[in-house]
Each structure stands twice: as structure tokens, then as C-alpha cells.
Structure 1
Amino acid sequence: MDSVPPAESRPRPAIRRLPETTANRIAAGEVVERPAAAVKEIVENALDAGASRISVVLEGGGMDRILVEDDGCGMSADDLALAVERHATSKLPEEATLFRIATLGFRGEALPSIGAVARLTITSRPQDGAAHRIAVEGGRVSEVAPASGAPGTRVEVRDLFFATPARRKFLRHPRTEAEHAVEAVRRLALAWPGVSFRVENDGREALNLPGTDWETRIRQVLGPDFAAAAVPVEAVGMSLDLRGLAALPSYTRPTTMAQHLVVNRRPVRDPLLRVALRVAYRDVIEAGRHPAAALFLDVPPESVDVNVHPMKTELRFREGDGVRGTLINALRRALAVGAGAAVAMPALTPAVPPEPMPSMGFAESFVPLTPPPAPVPVQRALGLAPVAPPRPVLLTERAPEAHPLGRAIAQFLDTYVVAEAPDGALVLVDQHAAHERLTHEALSAQLVEGGVRSQPLLLPAVVDLGAREAQRLLDHAEDLARLGLEIEGFGAGAVLVRALPALLGNPEPGPLLKDLAEELAELGEAASLQKRLDAAVARLACHGSVRAGRRLTPAEMDALLRAMEATPRAATCSHGRPTVLRLDAAALERMFGRR
């Protein structure tokens, strides 16, 4: 093995200045990661220019062509020449304002970075001046020339990354890249409700949002289901103004895609704010689900540093603990009021018996148990105010059973099965989490055997999803068919469901398909087929499992325990939550201070 020569004998590399073209291409790697990043930067420039209407055209997912037109203030010939130079900007009047940013863009790198790796043409005309054009191709800048055009700015990007073909190879399918670009515009549209946005993708309209107020814009972007489940959030302080809408705990999503956070009209994915959102909902939603919200936070520009991330999606707050605490408290107040309003609402429809749970080897049907008369409350004996606690369903005495999880002795809160193990230990089983794992394993076994058995619907169901969600599901229709879910297109933004996996019984197809569409969007095209199938199986299992609040018969409880004993990985559900807890005599004695 050759030895490494000592440092003093090695030639010292000379330090040299990088060529301008190379420097620009390095900057482009930080600023322009994919077509969506270029679209975001150009649209942000249009917003900073005071545009009231912004139009975006995409071809080939933005890799072939991006066109952004706005009716903003426009640029003169001199400004146009400076706009494609690095570190030239109109957004920092003086150096002292570096830590008091009041615009979306400020570094002066976006346009020269795009021009370094693509063919860039900018045509601009001030409101009271003449139009001019400049072009940049692979870093080579043309002279500014007279042109024709309406007031505002027109930015065209062709052949993105033609000058850095290695980076272009890392891009995804054009459809996926287009989805990311449309989502970038959608998030900016949420932050700027007074501006009209339109996006066209390969000749088809992908987004059309006329200018409106912020509440209407939230409903446009997050949809009517969110709007119906949302409550207002508000907090006003000396240096902070928070407003927005947050969904009640009954409306959750399988991913964080429905979390929209806007700080000083800048869409962000800031870790501090997302942690605050998670903490506020931590005790009211089940593990594996995520809250949905659209929150607008306004703070003094000098109290937040927006230059800690190349894409400006993460921030550094001067008083981070105060911001986090205010957000958590405001959300908890809103959820408490929302929950109280929901409880006070009168029942508009009579109660109906619950639907049967899929067989899975359990008893063939569910017959609700009649709970025994409640004993005299302990509170009454102690002279305390009477409280009506949830009553456990007690089972009749039966002989002990020689099974690891023992025999079921009660159901508590219509959610937990209480069992006694052969050694006397107390066993608690979360019926939904446990059945979810059983359904997951059964679906996976059928998939390995060649495909999940489907059950045709007597009447096909039509599910309205929205254009992108419907197309995403249809793009994976073949994969979903292997899972027993048969769908086909049914007009713009709708899907026709012809069959569901037989193991799921008769779930409502709408929520199931919406969760599947979001799960597929989160994974992206880069995910392997197996990973997509695994995620879809987990989502199907969740929707096809017995819910908390469902009363079980003694036979069904015991059947659940026996099935868990015979199922791999039955100790956790599909999301990793525990399905069963065991308290032996020693643990109980420690809890009661006996040892």
C-alpha cells in the first residue's frame, strides 16, 4: 500500500477566482433545484413588483418551457441589464436593511442563476415607458434591445439545465415536476389572496384563482372539506399578529401537505412553527395523522431572519419561544371553542346502528351488548359531585383460557378490550390499532399471492377529488387494481370506483381515495413500486379497520385476541403505535406502591 507523502512535500494548490459562468452555475444549484424553484423565484419577483395578475405556462413539467407574465411595475432598459447580474437587486435600498427584509426576494441571484443553466429571455415595460428585452443563454448575456409588450414583465425560460445536463438527469417525470411547480404557485397564492393567479400545464388549465379575500382564498386552496371542519385562529400581541383557520381534530390528514404556514406573506415550512402545530394537536389526534391548517403570522421584519435557507423556506425568529408559545396557545383556544360548539350542536339525524366490521375470522356480525346497571358511584359515597364515567362492558364469567393474551373480560370506553392472561396479568388491547394490523397483514398476504381480492360494488361510486388528485390516482390505477381497488376516470376531477378490497367490508370510498391520493403525492414518482404498494396497503388497512367507539360482542373480543396471537407484528399497528399493553402483578404492585 502506497504511503501518503507528508504535507510539506505535497504541491500547494493555487487559489484562483472562479470564472463567472462557473460561479453562476454553482449559485444555480442552490437557488434553482428544479423547475418549481425557478417558477417560485420568478413569481416572487412579480409579487414584489406589485402585480395584481400573474400567469404561468408550463411545458414538459417546466423543463422545456416556463413562461411567467405579470402586470407589475416593469423595468427600464438600465434596470433590465442589472437584473441579470449577480447580487444586483432593487429590494435592499441600503446595507442596513439586510436584517429587516420586507420583500420576498432580495439576494439578486435568481435570474442570473436561471440564465446560467437555461435559455432566459426577459421582456419588460414600465407603466409609463417603452418595452425592452434581454436574453441570457448558459451564462452569456445579450445586449438590451427595444421590444414590444404590455406594461409589466414577461419572463421565459427554455431548456432548463441544458447547460448542466447532469442535474437535468436528476429531475423526475414531467408530470411530477409540473405538480411541484403548481403547488409552489398555490402556496404563494394562499399568501397573496388579492392577486389573481393562473397556471396552464401543457395546454390545460391547472390553476385559476381570481383575487379575493383571505378566507375565500383559504377555501379555494384547501377545499370545501377543510373549510367545513375549520375554526378561526387569532392572536394579537405587541409584536405578533396571528390569524387563520385550523381544522378540528375530527379532520386529519395522512401527511403534512395540508399545513400552510405564511410569515410576513412568505410561505414557509419552518421547523419551529410545524413543531408548534404538532404540539397543539398532540393530545387530540391519533398518532400517524396530521392536522390541517392555514395560518398567517405577521411579525416586525427585524424580528425574523429569512436568510438562513437558500430557498427561504426556513426562518430564525429573534424570540422563537414566544412565537411558538403564542401559536400553541392560540390553536388550543380555537380547538377548545370549536369542540365546545360541536358538542352543543343538536343532533339532526337519528342514531343508526354501526356497520358490521369485516369478518377477518371474527364472529360474522356484531350484536351490541347491553351494559349492566351501573353501580352506585364512588363519588356519591364520598359526598362528591356525581360524575357519569364511561361504563365498561363486563362479560359473564367464563373459564380461563390457555392463550398468551388470555380471555376478554370487558370492553372499556368502547375502544379498549380488557383481558386476563393465564398468569393473571392485565392485558389492554386498542381494538382499532390491533384490527388495523390484522387487516394490513391479510392484505399484504393476498398481494404476495398475486393480488388482493376485490368486491365489486352493486352501484359504482363517484368520488369528486379535484383534477390533480384524480389524475394522480388514475396514473396509479394499475397498482391500485392489484390492491383490489378498481377505479376509472369520470370527467374532470372525479373518479368512478367499481370495486373495493373485499377485506375492507363496506368503507366510504371518498375519504379512502383522498388519503391515498395524498399518500402517493407525499411519496412522489421516485418511490419504488413496492414502497407505494406498502403505503397504500397501510392506508387501506386503516380505513378498513374497526373504529374506536365500536362496541364488540364477547365472541368478537376473543376472536380479536386469537387473531392477534396468530398474526406477525401484531404488537404495533401500521403506523407503529402499540396495539397491546400488559401489566403483570409486579407492575401493578409498583404502581400502587406495594413494592
Structure 2
Amino acid sequence: MPIIRRLPENLVNRIAAGEVVERPASALKELVENAIDAGASQITIRLTDGGLDGIEVTDDGCGMGPEQMALALERHATSKLPDEAIELVTTLGFRGEALPSIASVARMTIESRTRDSAEGWRRVVDHGEVVGDAPAALPPGTRIRVEDLFGKVPARRKFLRSGRSEYAACLDVVRRLAMARPDVGFVLEQDGRRVLAVQSGETAPQRVARIVARELADDGVVIDLERGPARLTGVAGLPTFNRGVADHQYLFVNGRPVKDRLLVGAVRGAYAEMLARDRHAVLALFLDVPPDEVDVNVHPAKTEVRFRDPAFIRGFIVSGLRHALEAAGQKTAQSPAADAMGNWQREPVAPMAPAQPRLESLFARQYTPNRVGESASEAWRSYEAQSFAPRPMDPAPLGRAEMAEEAAPDAVDYPLGIARGQVANTYIIAEASDGLVIVDQHAAHERIVLERLRAAGAGDKMAAAQALLLPQVVELDEPACDRLEEVAPELASHGLSLERFGPCAMLVRSVPAVLAKGDVQALVRDVADDLALNGPSVEGSSLLLGERLDLVLATMACHGSVRAGRTLNVAEMNALLREMEVTPRSGQCNHGRPTWVKLAHGDIEKLFGRK
């Protein structure tokens, strides 16, 4: 029979470290939370190679004496629970596991000095063994250095990612904690370079806008609501100010950054009728409830919580967000185009020549239905060969007025038929020889543009690119710039030329020719979001890189597609139908939705009781 024995203290600490310290960002989170709980007003963080080689956290908090320092390195020793009422905890930390767990898997140096002490004290612990204990000179506060993380635990060390990936995780931790405490100043340095600096004394909306996105100051609404014992504050972005991934949603409960399914679901429910399914809101919400109404002792990392009344919390967040967004009225993050505003302000001028439809976007050239016997590809080449001659403005509505004037070609010649009209400026109605075809114009054109981008980037041939007259600078956070820089050569082969422009910006020199009229800023941001969503690349894995670029191309195609709500005339609608007939996989869009449906003659007859 196996003999039961007590595990050695150092092994117990290493086992506990597996729950608390998963990567450098986990250790950094615990150290910064300790600094906040110590009453610090200024916290400085220095990283070396994303925390893989070193983490240093310096604060001006209350500090520790030699005896307190020695006790802090023992398991389950903490100053944050003066009694046994763990359900009433108000500090970020309370378990007493962080410091001994980190010290058991790294070389940790703690230097601290209280305000009433003439000198400080230093203690060095190397993977669980005390190797140094002596006086130290430093101002009041605490400085902790963590080096050689998992140096003697190779099984854990080999699972860590690259320095860039670990730095991105550390940056996310610092940003969340900095938003949680706007009364505390934060400085973050990576390899000697300052990447984040915020001053103490800011308001929560100011801190959020400074860290998340400066546009939130204008494109967001401030939230401050109370219902019973709960209070909800923060900043919520307008529905038109959104992102392609949900990593710009920051949620806090009693000042603690959390990632809770209930809160995420409540945010999704609040924006359900205002955002597309593949878009996500940008916001930072701070929920304050009595400590006995929430359980924070769910997981050692303390990122999960449980509410005593989850239905009330969800309803409070959903209704609070909706009322705040409704109060914003017709405010939108998308400013009207200058030429559109000019048309409203311009005095009407009587046309001197017979009006002709003015075509825009991809279908900006005149198109005539192809002749009998002419293939769809030949018709499209003939269409694309025509010039971009400017035409006078037509004051009459497009589409329906000219249908009566054009000679309708025979629907037998085309699988998708001939366009007969447009419904809700979104769906094309076409007559085919065997029924009625309804086409989603945006979904169909999205697939067409995607296949063009794929074909243009196939083989060794570079995709056709449209150089920008003035290169545009797109500001992003540093991890997003790192991801874009990593795949810049592959993006260039598809026509999107990017260069690094400082730590937190990318310079766009060209875009794919088919996207020349798109929003360059939004395109680059969504491409960065797609790269973040699909994870970091694996060195030597061209398959994974190809899959990621395929998703990026889908995003680029979406930006270059004709939008729902745009009025098309007959020539434009027929051009789209002909292109669909020669485009692979045109039956579904890039997101898997159908691009067209057909009502056969027999189905129509059944609707009217003829069969």
C-alpha cells in the first residue's frame, strides 16, 4: 500500500505556483495588485524581453520591515484579511499565495522601506531558497525584481511564448489595472523604452479614453447609474464605434478587472439590435456592489466572480447601457462625407443635357447588357475597358426610372437572369428563365472582391496595388503593430503595403486596387483585429499563416464591397449578376451566408394557389 507523506514546502509552493503564475503577465498582475493594496500613488513597471528575462515593480506605498517581509514570503500570510470575513474582502489580493508562489519558480529580490524607518531591507529568494538578507538603500516604498522565471522548471518554461506575445499580455494587464485605479499613476517600460505613462488624479472617463482609444472621448457616452445597492459607471462606445474583436471590452467589479461570462453576455445583449454579429462594442464598465453580494474567491487568479443575484446584475447592465445609448440620440461615430454635405448645401442647377446615371464605386463605368452569344467574361472585360468619364448629376432616382427605357435582354441567356429592380436598396430582383432570383448585393460583391484578392495574390505575381498620394498613418497599440509587421511581406503581396512608423503606428503606402476607395484606417484596424483573433503565428507553419491571411483577405473584401442601402441602377445590377456567374463560390459570402436564393416558377404558383 502506498505511504501517505507530507510534501516538502518548496514542492507545495511550486504546485501552488502552477495556479497563480502561468506566465510573466500573471506574476506582474499579482505584484501590481500588491502595490495598489499597499496604498501606492505611483507605480513604475520595467520589463525585459516581455517579462521573460525580468520584471521590476516599484511603488511608493506603505513598505515593509524585515520581519513583515519574511512573513510575506510564507504561504497564506497576508495583511489584507484582518479577520476571517473573507466574504467582505475589499482588496485586490487576499489569498497570501502570490509572493511565495513567484519566489518558488524564479529569482526574486524584494527591497522595501517603511516611511518611519531610516533604512530599507533586501531579501533575495532563488527558486524557494533564501540566498540574501541585508540592509538596502531606497526611498519609502517597495521594489520587487523577478528574474529567470521558470528557470529551474523547464517543463513550464518551454510553454512560454515569444517575448512579443508575453509583452502583449503584460501590457493588457497593466492597462486594465490602470483603468481600474485612475487615482494611481502608472509608468510601463519595455527594454528601456517607455510605452505607457498616465498621471494620478484623472477621472475614470479620461483614463479610459487615454488608454483604450482617444476617439472614445467624442464617440462614447459616459455612464453613471444607480439601482438599489448597485452602481454602474464607465464609458460605452457608440454602436457605430466598434471593433472586429471583443478585446476592447474592459469589465470591472468593485475595482477588480474580471472576465466574467455574465457581464460579457449582458454587454452583448445591450448592443444586440445595434451591432452586426461580427462586430463588438468598445467600452469600459465599472460595477460596484456590496462585497457580500459577490464572491471573488472563485479562482486563484481572481478574474472570475459569482453574483448572489445574477439576474438583477444582467438586467441592470442591459437596461443601463441601452438607456445611456438612447440618450445619445442620433449621435454617431461616422461623420458625413464632405461631398455629401456639399450636395445638400449646393443650390440645384438645371441640367443642360439629357441626364445620364452617375455611377460610382466598383461599378463606376457604363455598362450595357452583353449581346447574344457574348460570354459573361467577355462582357465584363468590355465593361472594365471603358473609361471613367465624368457624367452630369441625375436628379431623378436611379434604377426604376430607367428600367422602362432600356431594352430588356432575354433572361434565358443568363443563369442568374436579368435585373428587374431593387428592394430596400439591398436586394436585387432578377428574372431567370426558370424563376425569380433574389440577390443580397453586399454579400455577393463581398465574395467577388475576395476571390479577386485571392487570384491577384496567387503564385509569384504581386497583386495590383493602388499607391496612396499621401501615405496614411494609422495609430494602433504596440502589440497590434507587432502582429502587422510580422505579416507585412504577405500583406504586401496582396496589395496592402505597411511599414512600421514608431512603436504605436503603421504607415500605409498602398492598398489593393479593388479597395482604393475604402476607408484605409478602418481596413488596417480590422486586419489587426483579425490577426489578434486568430492567434500568433507559429514559426515554420505556412499553413497557419495562409489560414490567417485568408481571414484577413475576407476582412479586406468586406471593406471594398458595395454596401447594403446603396441604390444601384440596372447596369450596375446586371454587372454584378454577370460577375457572380463567373466567380467561384459566389453562392455564399465570406461569412458563410447565402448570396442569392431562387423562387422557381412552381414555387411562385404554389404561393398563389395555382398548383
TM superposition score normalised by structure 2: 0.85
Stretch moving more, 121-130 or 440-449: 440-449
d(CA) in 2 for partners of 1:590, 1:509: 49
**Deviations, residues 371-426 of structure 1 (Å, cap 9, x unaligned):** 669xxxxxxxxxxxxxxxxx98894483434545433222223222233444334x
Q: Does 1:109 align with 2:97?
A: yes
* Residues 161 and 342 (structure 1), Cα distance of their counterparts in 2 relative to 1, 3 Å cut: closer
CA drift at 1:145 = 3.3
Matches within 5 A, 1:411-430: 411-425=422-436, 427-430=437-440
* Residues 238 and 454 (structure 1), Cα distance of their counterparts in 2 relative to 1, 3 Å cut: same
CA drift at 1:242 = 0.5
**Deviations, residues 215-247 of structure 1 (Å, cap 9, x unaligned):** 110110122223321122332111210112211
CA drift at 1:117 = 0.9
Give the one of 551, 560, 572 matched to 1:535.
551
Matches within 5 A, 1:90-129: 90-95=79-84, 97-129=85-117
Stretch moving more, 305-314 or 572-581: 572-581
Matches within 5 A, 1:121-160: 121-129=109-117, 130-142=119-131, 144-160=133-149
The SS at the match of 2:221 is strand
d(CA) in 2 for partners of 1:264, 1:392: 59
d(CA) in 1 for partners of 2:138, 2:609: 83
Matches within 5 A, 1:513-532: 513-526=524-537, 528-532=544-548
CA drift at 1:455 = 2.0
Give the one of 10, 22, 27 matched to 1:21.
10
Is the CA contact (8 Å cut-off) linking 1:392 and 1:413 kept in structure 2?
A: no
Is the CA contact (8 Å cut-off) linking 1:446 and 1:453 kept in structure 2?
A: yes
- Aligned counterpart, 2:354: none
TM superposition score normalised by structure 1: 0.87
Identity %: 47
Q: Does 1:330 align with 2:330?
A: no
Partner AA of 1:462 in structure 2: Q
Stretch moving more, 428-437 or 176-185: 428-437
- Aligned counterpart, 1:498: 509
Is the CA contact (8 Å cut-off) linking 2:245 and 2:280 kept in structure 1?
A: yes
d(CA) in 2 for partners of 1:39, 1:86: 18
Is the CA contact (8 Å cut-off) linking 2:474 and 2:524 kept in structure 1?
A: no
CA drift at 1:208 = 0.8
Q: Does 1:223 align with 2:213?
A: yes
- Aligned counterpart, 1:483: 494
Matches within 5 A, 1:451-462: 452-462=462-472
**Deviations, residues 157-214 of structure 1 (Å, cap 9, x unaligned):** 0011102112111111112211211111011101111111001101111111112111
* Residues 449 and 79 (structure 1), Cα distance of their counterparts in 2 relative to 1, 3 Å cut: same
Superposed CA RMSD in Å reads: 3.0
Q: Does 1:441 align with 2:470?
A: no
- Aligned counterpart, 2:43: 54
d(CA) in 2 for partners of 1:443, 1:476: 16
**Deviations, residues 322-350 of structure 1 (Å, cap 9, x unaligned):** 1111111112222222243459x999832
- Aligned counterpart, 2:250: 260
CA drift at 1:86 = 1.4
- Aligned counterpart, 2:284: 294
- Aligned counterpart, 2:348: none
- Aligned counterpart, 2:595: 579
Give the one of 33, 51, 56 matched to 1:44.
33
Stretch moving more, 451-460 or 17-26: 451-460
CA drift at 1:59 = 0.5
* Residues 21 and 564 (structure 1), Cα distance of their counterparts in 2 relative to 1, 3 Å cut: farther
Matches within 5 A, 1:150-549: 150-211=139-200, 212-341=202-331, 349-351=341-343, 355-357=360-362, 361=380, 364=384, 395-396=403-404, 398=408, 399-401=410-412, 403-425=414-436, 427-450=437-460, 452-466=462-476, 468=478, 469-491=480-502, 493-526=504-537, 528-549=544-565
Partner AA of 2:276 in structure 1: E
Stretch moving more, 226-235 or 199-208: 226-235
